[in-house]
Structure 1
Amino acid sequence: MIYGALFVLFSLPKLRKIKKIGPDVPVALRDNAAHQQPELLGRRLLKITGSDITVSGRENIPDGPVLFVSNHQGNFDIFVCLGYLEKPIGFLSKVEVKKIPVVPKWMEAINCIFIDRRNRRQALLSLKEGTEKLRNGHSLLIFPEGTRSKGRQLGEFKTGALRMARDAAVPIVPVAINGTYAIMEHNTGPVLKPASVTLSISKPLLPEDYMNMDLTEIAQRLHHTIQQSLEK
Structure 2
Amino acid sequence: MSILRTIALFAYLFGYMIVHYGVLRRAERALAAGDMDTVEQIVRKHIPHWSQGILNVTGAQLVVEGKENIPQGVPCVFVGNHRSYFDIPLLLVALDAPHGILAKEELEKIPLLNRWMKLLGCVFVKRDDIRASVKALNDATAIVESGRSFVIFPEGTRYKGEEGGAGEFKAGAFRIAIKTGAPVVPVAISGARGLFEGHGNRATPGSIYIRILPPIQTVGMSKAEQKQLPEAVRQTILAEL
Name the CA distance, whole Å, in 2 between partners of 1:24 and 1:146: 33
What is the match of residue 199 of structure 1? 210
Give unmatched runs, 5+ long, in structure 2. 1-9
Matching residue's letter, 2:78: F
**How many pairs are equivalent?**
227
Contact 1:159 1:215 in 2 (8 A): no
Structure 1 or 2: larger helix share?
A: 2
SS of residue paired to 1:126: helix
What is the match of residue 151 of structure 2? 141
What is the match of residue 70 of structure 2? 61
Quote the offset at 1:31 in angstroms. Answer: 3.4
Contact 2:47 2:98 in 1 (8 A): no
Contact 2:178 2:219 in 1 (8 A): no
What is the match of residue 106 of structure 1? 116
What is the match of residue 7 of structure 2? none
Contact 1:68 1:141 in 2 (8 A): yes
Quote the offset at 1:182 in angstroms. Answer: 0.8
**Which structure 2 residues correspond to residues 117-128 of structure 1 after superposition, within 5 A?**
117-128=127-138
What is the match of residue 229 of structure 1? 240
Name the CA distance, whole Å, in 1 between partners of 2:222 and 2:138: 18
Structure 1, 16-25 or 34-43: larger mean CA deviation: 16-25
For normalisation by structure 2, the TM-score amounts to 0.87
Quote the offset at 1:193 in angstroms. Answer: 1.0
Structure 1, 10-19 or 100-109: larger mean CA deviation: 10-19
Contact 2:91 2:98 in 1 (8 A): no
Structure 1, 90-99 or 176-185: larger mean CA deviation: 90-99
**Which structure 2 residues correspond to residues 15-26 of structure 1 after superposition, within 5 A?**
15-19=24-28, 20=30, 23=34
Name the CA distance, whole Å, in 2 between partners of 1:120 and 1:149: 21
Matching residue's letter, 1:198: Y
Matching residue's letter, 2:138: K
1:15–1:220 Cα change, 3 Å: same
**Which structure 2 residues correspond to residues 1-232 of structure 1 after superposition, within 5 A?**
1-19=10-28, 20=30, 23=34, 30-63=39-72, 64-150=74-160, 151-188=163-200, 190-208=201-219, 210=221, 212-230=223-241
Quote the offset at 1:171 in angstroms. Answer: 1.0
1:197–1:209 Cα change, 3 Å: farther
Name the CA distance, whole Å, in 2 between partners of 1:195 and 1:85: 20
SS of residue paired to 1:87: coil
Quote the offset at 1:198 in angstroms. Answer: 0.3
1:67–1:59 Cα change, 3 Å: same
Give unmatched runs, 5+ long, in structure 1. none
Q: Percent identity?
A: 32
Matching residue's letter, 2:203: L
1:207–1:33 Cα change, 3 Å: farther
For normalisation by structure 1, the TM-score amounts to 0.90
Residues 85-112 of structure 1 deviation map (CA, whole Å, 9 limit, x = unaligned): 1323110112222221111111110000
Quote the offset at 1:146 in angstroms. Answer: 1.6
Contact 2:164 2:238 in 1 (8 A): no
Name the CA distance, whole Å, in 1 between partners of 2:18 and 2:60: 24
Contact 1:58 1:85 in 2 (8 A): yes
